[in-house]
Structure formats: C-alpha cells, structure tokens
Chain A
Amino acid sequence: MTMRERYLTFKEKMSELWFVIKRNAAAKLGLGILITIIGIAVFAPWIAPYNPNVKSGAIFLPPSHKHLLGTDDVGHDIFSQLIYGTRISLMIGVLAASTAIIIGTLIGLSSGYFGGAVDEALMRLTDVWLSIPMMLFAIFMVAVLSRTATRMLYSVIIAIALTSWPGTARLVRSAVLSIKEYPYIESARAVGASSWRIMINHILPNVVPIIIIEVITRTGLAMLTEASLSFLGLGDPTAISWGMIIHYAMIRNAIVNGFWWWFLPPGIMISITVLGVLLLGLGLEEYFNPRLREG
C-alpha cells in the first residue's frame, strides 16, 4: 500500500476498485454471481413458492410445475429448501470466516509485532495447527460441542473458525513484520504511543487489504467446509443448508434411486457460489497488488 492511497477518499477508492473489477472479466463474473446469490438470500420469501419446513405435497414427488424440484421424504418442497438454504449457507460461511479472521488477525498481529518468545510460541502453535487434518478436527469439535450447545448452528460456526485461522495468522504476521520497519511506526513509538495503540491505529489499517481478500476467500472455503460437515450429518436440523439437503438426499437413498433433482441442484449452488467468491477474491488481489495487473 502506497502513501498516496492514504489521501484517497472512500468514494475515490471505490471508483478505483470498480475500475479494476470492470476490466477484469473473472472478477466481474464473480461479483455478478455473488450479487445474484445475495439477492436470492434476501428475497427468499418472495422467490420460494412454499414454506420449506411445512409439508406441501405428497412425498418423493419428481419435478413438476407445482414442485420445480420435486419433494423430499416428508413432502417438503425441495426448490423452496434450496432457496432458503442460500440464507443458511451464506450466513454460516460469512460468520465462520469472519470469526476465523478475527482470531487469525489477532494472533498474526501479536506474533509479528511483539516478536521473540511470543512470536515463537504462537507460530509453533500455528504450525501444529496446520499439520492436523482440519476437517477431521472440525468434525470432532462439532460432534463434541453440539452435545452442550443450544443450537448446532453455533457449533458449526465455532468449529470452522477454530480450524481455519492459521492461514490468516501467517499472512498477517508476515505483513506486520514488513510494516513494523517503516519509519512512521518508529515515530509513533518515539512520541510514546502504547503497543496496543500502534497495533490498532498504525499497523492494522495497513493490513486491511489482506484481511478483505482473506474474508472473501475464506468465506468460500468456509462454505465448502460447512457443506461437508452438514453432508456428514453435523448440520443444524432446524436450519437446512445446501449441504444438509444433500445429506438428507443421501440417507434417503436418492442417489441410488437416481433422484437427481434432489442432490444435483444444491451441489451446483455451492459450486457456483464458491466459484464466484474465489473469482472476486482473485480480482481484488489484483486491485490491492498492482504488480499483478500487468500479467
């Protein structure tokens, strides 16, 4: 981040951002996908023809005009489940990713800023954390947490957050290590600013670009993890996400019976959403890192 950007107003920054996205076909596609998905989530009650949690027809119906994607084993409309599932999947993805990034940023900031023994201890912990099978631990955590948690939704969010912070911590740490060397940090220390103040007011703002890209990319990855956990039966039965729809399809033998309308659409929705998020992430990386723009 150059010094010049500190003097740009918010509006100017946004127009520069838009300029970069506009020229990048992939980022434009990603943004388009994301806006559509968010639109579906917001307007779910108007798009979905039925209440997804109420019996609206006979059981195991194939697709028809009345039920676009048929019904499930208890007569719930699968199309409506899919539309409402957008809310759940998106919400869990965003919340889990944000929590993971808060943890990762705090650890990365302290590690990079304080250095020494703090750095050593935190980075060792990060290394250990990175070398264990993440999803397996997320599975274990949800299974354990959901025995006491009031809603499984929170267990899922906490488990994803607790297993996905190390990547962010490392990224933030290496950014802090280079920012720390700038003269203005030394000046701040010279006028007697506290460590906390320097970290929050002087270092954190310069790490923001990295954090924004991380939030976006991690949301996609968190949605994939959530889908996997739900698929394995660790989702919240009161909040049907896309992964949960596939879980129910599998345990009700939809796959071996060839009920493609039950397990194909949720997978397509997950894939498209995650693709959109990743494409947008790539585009933003280009915005924040102008060196990539040539290539």
Chain B
Amino acid sequence: MKRVLARRLVTSIITFFVTISIVFIFAHLSGDPLAELEDDPRVTPDVIAAMKAAFGLNKPLYMQYLDFIWSVLHGNLGYSLQYLRPVEDIIKERFPYTLALLVPSITLSNYLAYKAGVETGWRRGSKFDLSFMTVSMFMRSVPYFWLAIIFLYVFSVKLGWTPIFGAITPGISFANTWAWLKDYLWHYILPFTVLVFRETLAMLLYVRNTLIEVLREDYITTAKAKGLDEAYVKYRYAARNALLPMITILGMRYAFLIDGAVLTETVFAYPGMGRTVFEAIVNRDFWLLQGAVVLLSASVIIVNFIIDIIYLYLDPRVRYR
C-alpha cells in the first residue's frame, strides 16, 4: 500500500518536472521573451538591458532553466507586463473563480452522467437510448465555445434572464453577503450550465458503454438467474461496477474541463483563469500566459494524484498487487 502510494507520488513529481520543462523549452524556442518590448520604439536599449539583467536573461541557458524551476517551486511565476504586477498575485485573485466553476460542474456532471448512463446502457437499443446517443454524438461535433455563445445569445441577449458578462455586477456595493451571493450566482449559473451540459453528454457515452460491458459478465447472468429483482441487479450489481472506470478517467476529464473552462470563461467574460489566458494571448502578456499554464497543469497533476489515492481505497486489486 505504502509502496504503491510512494510510486504514484514519484510519478506525479516526474510529470510535474516534465511539464514545466516542456513549458521552458517552448518558451525559449521562440528566443527572446522581451522581443515585443524591443520592437517598441518607446523603450530604450538601456531599459531592455536593465530588464534582461533583472530577469536573468543574460545568463547561460542551463542557469536560466535552474532559475526557472527554482522560482516556480517558490511560487514565483514572473511579472505581468500588462498589469505591471507579479503573475502569482493575479492568479491568486482569479483561480478561485475557476475552481468554483470546475469542482461543482465536474461533480454534478458526473452524477448526471452516471444516472443517465446506467439507464441508457440498461435499456440499450431502446428509443430512449437512441435519442440520448444521437444528442451525445451531435454534441461531440459542436465546438465548446460555440455552444457557450448559443447559451449566451439565447438566455442573456434574447431572453435577458442572465447578465451578459462578468462574475459580479461592476460598480455595486453590496448591503450584505446574501446580496453579494445572489449577484454572484446570477452570473454563475450560465457558464456553469454550459460546462455541466457538455461534460454530462461526453461522460454519458462512456458510462453507457462501460455498463454494457459489465452486463456481459457472468455474475450478472447469475444474479438474474437467481431471480433477483431487476432494480437490485441494475443498481447493486451492474451500476456499482460501472462506477470504477468512471473514477479512472476523472483525471483526464478534469484536464478536458480546464480546456472547456478557458473557452467558456472567454465567452462569458468570466474573470477566472480561462479568461486570463485569453487576455494574455490578446495582450501578448507572455509571463502571465506561462504562469497560467504552469498553475493549471500543476492542478491537473494534483487532481490526478488525489484520484489515484481514492482509487487505491476503492479497488482492492490495485492495493494488493
């Protein structure tokens, strides 16, 4: 048990180092991080030279690499040229917004996909199953951001039910926490719905196919032959065993969800990490983009590690191997 855990921890750490090394390699493939400033006629060569010295850009490459790892490990992610503030400060402000979107939406979408997946898999080939499959297939072809745009257009622009942008109405001072929460949730509901809707349909197919696999097992036939109640077989025998593979791919789903959040937040101008990525692209704020990538990748690695631990408890086969 402890050995398995230790191995998983080592793998996670290696993954983290490989990830930030990839970030470093790509960041330096493009050459000079200050290229945009050098093109700017308002910035004199002296300033560039001073900045290069300050950021350590005149050191040899391996020193820069060690410096980079050292500062990442100390939570030092560089300096945003757009906000003129340290990147980690900006991320500290915005990451909670994204986390508040990601965690509830992955939880709810997994629950809904589990329920719907078990029903469709159990009634494989029925009209009920077929309609779910058709919708699911079609939704796989629809771009994430476009779905968000449709939601925004219909519910905010046409119907006026929800606000058009942001996480909080700007320029309002709230009387109490409840008023703030109400405003927050009013902005929250639409991006949240987009993520849940899309993730549920994506996960549904997987749960359904797993359930169909499980239904082929001998113990299901035995349970049915014993004359057990159909609902009992469905939930106690089949659904339980379809749950485990769901947890296996949860880490991968979390990574997908981050991609979804980047696009959804951009459409709704929601001030989380996703929107930050978009702003960093538009404003060519290289360090901010790099910081966001490092932090979000680290969160994926941490989530994967937690899922691995959960898995160890749930599946005895892994524990005793």
Taking Cβ atoms with an 8 Å cutoff, the residues of A that contact B are: 125, 127-128, 130-137, 139-141, 143-145, 147-148, 220, 224, 227-228, 231-234, 243, 246, 250, 255-256, 258, 260, 263, 267, 270-275, 278-279
Query: Contact mask B272-310 → A, CB, 8 Å, 1/0?
Result: 000001101110001001101100110011001000000
B255 touching A132, Cβ below 8 Å? yes
Closest Cβ of chain B: how far from A34's Cβ, in Å?
13
Q: Would you call the interface of chain A mostly helix, strand, loop, or mixed?
A: helix
A258 touching B157, Cβ below 8 Å? yes
Interface stretch of the complex, out of B18-26, B46-54, B189-197: B18-26
Write the chain A residue with the least CB distance to B140: A278
A134 touching B259, Cβ below 8 Å? yes
Q: How far is the CA of A131 from the CA of B255 in the complex (A)?
A: 7
B149 touching A233, Cβ below 8 Å? no
CB contacts under 8 Å to A, within B22-38, are: 22-23, 26-27, 29-31, 35
B263 touching A131, Cβ below 8 Å? no
A143 touching B281, Cβ below 8 Å? yes
Write the chain B residue with the least CB distance to A130: B252
Q: Which residues of A contact B137 (CB under 8 A)?
A: 275, 278-279
Q: Which residues of B contact A228 (CB under 8 A)?
A: 143-145, 259, 263
Query: Contact mask B40-73 → A, CB, 8 Å, 1/0?
Result: 0000000000000000000000000000000000
Closest Cβ of chain B: how far from A209's Cβ, in Å?
21
Q: How far is the CA of A132 from the CA of B14 in the complex (A)?
A: 13
How many A-B pairs fall under 8 Å by CB?
A: 143
Write the chain A residue with the least CB distance to B35: A147
Q: Which residues of A contact B200 (CB under 8 A)?
A: none
Q: How far is the CA of A275 from the CA of B142 in the complex (A)?
A: 8
Would you list 10 pairs from A and B whose C-beta atoms are within 8 A, ordered by A residue?
Answer: A127-B15, A135-B262, A137-B293, A140-B290, A231-B143, A232-B281, A233-B278, A234-B281, A256-B157, A274-B140
B30 touching A147, Cβ below 8 Å? yes
Do A145 and B30 form a contact, CB below 8 Å, given A128-B19, A246-B145?
yes
Write the chain B residue with the least CB distance to A282: B137
B146 touching A270, Cβ below 8 Å? yes
Write the chain A residue with the least CB distance to B16: A128
Complex partner residue of A278 from B141, B277, B301, CB under 8 angstroms: B141
Closest Cβ of chain B: how far from A16's Cβ, in Å?
25
Q: Which residues of B contact A133 (CB under 8 A)?
A: 255-256, 258-259, 296-297, 300
Write the chain A residue with the least CB distance to B138: A275
Q: How far is the CA of A144 from the CA of B35 in the complex (A)?
A: 11
Complex partner residue of A255 from B15, B152, B263, CB under 8 angstroms: B152
Write the chain B residue with the least CB distance to A224: B143
Q: Which residues of B contact A267 (CB under 8 A)?
A: 142-143, 146, 149-150
- Whether a CB of chain A sits under 8 angstroms from the CB of B251 is yes
Interface centre among A141, A144, A228, A275 (most CB of B within 10 A): A144
